[in-house]
């Protein structure tokens, strides 16, 4: 395998719990694997090191991830440009109906956050965009300027767990009467008057997170990925998921441990819980103190590993 150094993984995104994630896949050198969130290619590179004649399918909807994939010169790697919620359909196009493992590193990459024009960061001024796939129509700006107060309150509550979501929604609707809210700075100015002073940056992050999740329909996409992975992963194969906020982790935990997203046990006639996976670790793995110090993004990371029953 040859990989160009023009865009290194460290420039794009530092993978969290990289070694633990790859070991969690328990890679069969002749197997078929999916990296559902290719990004800068860090996970894919490590998977390819473990493969001999196996195959790796890498998926990402970000155009820059596709450019990163072009730096790999390895016939075992197939890159697919698109949302991982369609993984089953993508693989079918290549005649693949069963795989040995799937890994997904959820959330936003450091590289995307550091691009002001993407509108993901509270630290830079840029358009209220937040699209992972810039061919989509919905942006954060459209949400802020057109959603009803009730819908704004819903996303701030459900996706950001913002405690004063009702007050925030009312304030946004009132402010947009006199001016269009078009940039991240415009939104931050509104948030400044509502954020609890000791935790203002956390408050900003919660609001931005909720908008990003709504723009990219992240929760529904994750549900579809998990359901499709169930049908794709062969018995004994592995599912490896890295999440960065409680909404995602709760869904993954419930699905692995209970077999559904609600977390309600459903048992068969013999009293066995009906679920497609067995948790490899009872609790999620978290980064070491050393890794958290060197990579701030690792602080909120939770790694769950499961085996297909």
Query: What domains are defined for the chain?
Result: 2-110+218-308 (3.40.50.150), 117-216 (1.10.150.170)
Sorting pLDDT into bands at 50, 70 and 90, what band is 195?
A: very high
Euclidean distance between the first and the last CA atom of the chain, given in angstroms as a whole number: 33
Instruction: Collapse the DSSP code of 227 into the 3-class scheme (helix H, G, I; strand E, B; otherwise coil) and give the result.
Output: helix
Contact 35, 42 (CB under 8 A): no
Share of the chain above pLDDT 90, in %: 80
**Residues 103-153: pLDDT tens digits?**
999 977 656 666 666 877 878 789 999 999 889 999 999 999 999 999 999
Specify the DSSP class assigned to residue 139: -
Distance separating alpha carbons of residues 144 and 172, to the nearest angstrom: 7
- Residues with Cβ < 8 Å from 63, sequence gap 6 or more? 81, 134
Q: Which residues on adjacent β-strands are paired with residue 58?
A: 35, 79
- Residues with Cβ < 8 Å from 114, sequence gap 6 or more? 121, 124
The pLDDT assigned to 154 comes to 98
Instruction: Collapse the DSSP code of 78 into the 3-class scheme (helix H, G, I; strand E, B; otherwise coil) and give the result.
Output: strand
Question: Hey, how many other C-beta atoms are within 10 angstroms of the C-beta on 151?
Answer: 13
Q: Would the pLDDT of 2 be above 50?
A: no
Query: Model pTM greater than 0.85?
Result: yes
Two tokens at 201? 């940056």
**Residues 232-288: pLDDT tens digits?**
999 999 999 999 999 999 999 999 999 999 999 988 888 888 999 999 988 999 999
Sorting pLDDT into bands at 50, 70 and 90, what band is 294?
A: very high
pLDDT top residue among 62 and 87: 87
The alpha carbon of 223 is separated from its chain's Cα centroid by a whole number of angstroms, namely 12
Gyration radius (Cα) of the chain, Å: 20
């Amino acid at each position: 395998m040859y990989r160009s150094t023009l865009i290194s993984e460290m420039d794009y995104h530092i993978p969290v719990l990289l070694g633990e994630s790859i070991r969690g896949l328990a890679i069969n050198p002749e197997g078929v694997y999916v990296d559902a969130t290719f990004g800068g290619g860090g996970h894919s590179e490590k998977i390819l090191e473990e493969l001999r004649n196996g195959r790796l399918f890498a998926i990402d909807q970000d155009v820059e991830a596709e450019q990163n994939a072009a730096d790999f010169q390895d016939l075992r790697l197939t890159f697919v440009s698109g949302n991982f919620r369609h993984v089953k359909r993508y693989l079918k196009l290549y005649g693949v109906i069963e795989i040995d493992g799937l890994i997904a590193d959820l959330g936003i990459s450091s590289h995307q956050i550091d691009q002001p024009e993407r509108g993901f960061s509270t630290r830079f001024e840029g358009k209220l965009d937040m699209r992972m796939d810039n061919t989509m129509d919905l942006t954060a700006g459209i949400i802020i300027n057109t959603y009803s107060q009730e819908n704004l309150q819903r996303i701030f509550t459900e996706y950001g767990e913002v405690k004063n979501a009702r007050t925030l929604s009312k304030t946004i609707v009132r402010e947009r009467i006199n001016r269009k809210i078009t940039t991240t700075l415009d939104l931050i100015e509104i948030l400044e008057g509502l954020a609890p002073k000791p935790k203002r940056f956390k408050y900003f992050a919660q609001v931005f997170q909720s908008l990003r999740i709504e723009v990219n329909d992240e929760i529904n996409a994750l549900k579809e990925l998990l359901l499709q992975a169930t049908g794709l992963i062969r018995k004994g194969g592995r599912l490896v998921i890295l999440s960065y906020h409680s909404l995602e982790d709760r869904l993954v935990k419930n699905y692995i441990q209970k077999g559904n997203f609600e977390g309600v046990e459903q048992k068969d006639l013999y009293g066995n819980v009906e679920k497609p996976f067995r948790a490899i670790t009872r609790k999620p793995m978290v980064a070491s103190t050393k890794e958290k110090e060197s990579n701030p993004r690792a602080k909120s990371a939770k790694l769950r590993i499961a085996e297909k029953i």
